[in-house]
Amino acid sequence: MIDWEFMCGVDEAGRGPLAGPVYAAAVILDPLSFIAGLNDSKQLPAEERGALAAEIKVRAIAWAVASATVEEIDTLNILRASLLAMRRAVEGLPSVPREILVDGLHCPVTAIPARAIVGGDGSVAAIAAASILAKVARDAEMLNMHELHPRYGFDRHKGYSTPDHLEALRRHGACSEHRRSFAPVRAALNPELWPLGPPKKN
């Protein structure tokens, strides 16, 4: 049985991309204030995610968003950096939950009892809410990053390994926001690793 009162949902956004921080959120929902439409953030269109994020921030008992930097990702590895971002989100809550429910297989190390739930972002409302806040926050950061590095198209793919992103890496190499520990970025920094030859010159 799950005690829904003062239970905290936790999820991350941005484990897979080649660039940018990984974000995490922690949310304690009010069991007396139902929010319609909560779901895994990946299943929601951007406009709906944004509207739900605003509603969550107003109606939740408590929420917090945190991140781990590109440097931390490259130093720790992406799993450990994701867990670090989750721990920071939990520690950033203004209220202390009784239990943490985390999407996936792994839980951050905290003083609060925690359990991992595979597919939790699609089955547990508080985890779904956390996934939405983390995704919206990370997407906003990637839009800011696009302003600094427009030639990579971060506003379109949000750092994921799309064909146009890989082509930008081939043409321009990696920028400061790329994760050096990820294979496609390593290849961009070492042109001989490209199967079709070195990056094209401008």
pLDDT per position as a tens digit, 139-171: 999 999 999 999 999 999 999 999 999 999 999
Q: Can you tell me the mean pLDDT for 72-78?
A: 98
**Does residue 62 sit in the same domain as residue 161?**
no
Residue 2 lies in a domain: no
**Does residue 102 sit in the same domain as residue 30?**
yes
- Characterise 104 by phi-psi region: left (phi > 0), alpha (psi -120 to 50), beta (else): left
Q: Which of 86, 23, 94, 108 is nearest to 63 (CA)?
A: 94
Output the pLDDT for position 202: 42
pTM strictly above 0.85: yes
**Element at 132 (helix H, strand E):** helix 125-148
CB 120 within 8 A of CB 102: yes
**Does residue 95 sit in the same domain as residue 20?**
yes
pLDDT at 194 over 80: no
Q: Which of 13, 14, 52 is nearest to 36 (CA)?
A: 52
- A 10 A CB-CB count for 14 gives 28
**Does residue 46 sit in the same domain as residue 125?**
yes
CB 33 within 8 A of CB 141: no
**Does residue 131 sit in the same domain as residue 153?**
no
Segments forming the whole domain that contains residue 184: 149-193
Residue 198 lies in a domain: no
**Does residue 170 sit in the same domain as residue 107?**
no
